[in-house]
Chains A and B, each alone.
Chain A
Amino acid sequence: GNSVTQMEGPVTLSEEAFLTINCTYTATGYPSLFWYVQYPGEGLQLLLKATKADDKGSNKGFEATYRKETTSFHLEKGSVQVSDSAVYFCALYSGGGADGLTFGKGTHLIIQP
């Protein structure tokens, strides 16, 4: 079956630090990969996506590259802000129809001023 593994944290960084959140996956076929972000008390927001190998998704300064050879989709940001504090979920979709996403356990990110 499908699975997603990511560091759970909490990950605590200082403002303007470099961020990496690791995500690796196991899936049948060629999944699409996503990062979602959840701010306290809110639903999930799609942060970025990639649909095939070597695709780079990017949004709001965050980037992730679909690496098929290492089955990874690590999230990076060059300079984090306090407002980036949230829970980040790596997810994949590999179904042929209207199936649910497979989520990692989530990484709680805390940015200190």
Chain B
Amino acid sequence: DTEVTQTPKHLVMGMTNKKSLKCEQHMGHRAMYWYKQKAKKPPELMFVYSYEKLSINESVPSRFSPECPNSSLLNLHLHALQPEDSALYLCASSQRWGQGAREQYFGPGTRLTVT
């Protein structure tokens, strides 16, 4: 099973709202990622968690706050977003150690619209 699930599928929020995106995988992967994808562009890396610890933060504004409660779950907390933050938010996971291609498996994404 190579499934990564994300909820919600769609989210509309105002600039003063607080919301959270959720991601889950049960492949035993120990690295999880958040990407942001604008229309007609490739995904841009936001955060990387390795063994539930934040290992990469690609200079993302503080209005995005990631959380990794356990090895299967990844959250992205949103607060005071701007309209330009509207995008598809993708979660991905991969094996952390050992030999291998380090391929990442992506979820279906959350389509976020900020009004």
A residues near B, CB below 8 A? 32, 34, 36, 41-46, 49-51, 89, 93, 95, 97-101, 103-106, 108
Contacts and interface: CB of A to CB of B under 8 A. Distances in A.
A61 to B, nearest CB: 20
Contacts, number: 71
A106 B103 CA distance: 17
B43 A44 contact: yes
B67 to A, nearest CB: 16
Chain B interface residue number, banded? 20 to 34
B74 to A, nearest CB: 12
B101 A49 contact: yes
B41 A105 contact: yes
B48 A106 contact: no
Contacts of A97: 50, 55, 96
B112 interface: no
A25 B48 CA distance: 23
A95 B50 CA distance: 13
Given A34-B103, A42-B109, A43-B107, A100 B33 contact: yes
A44 B90 contact: yes
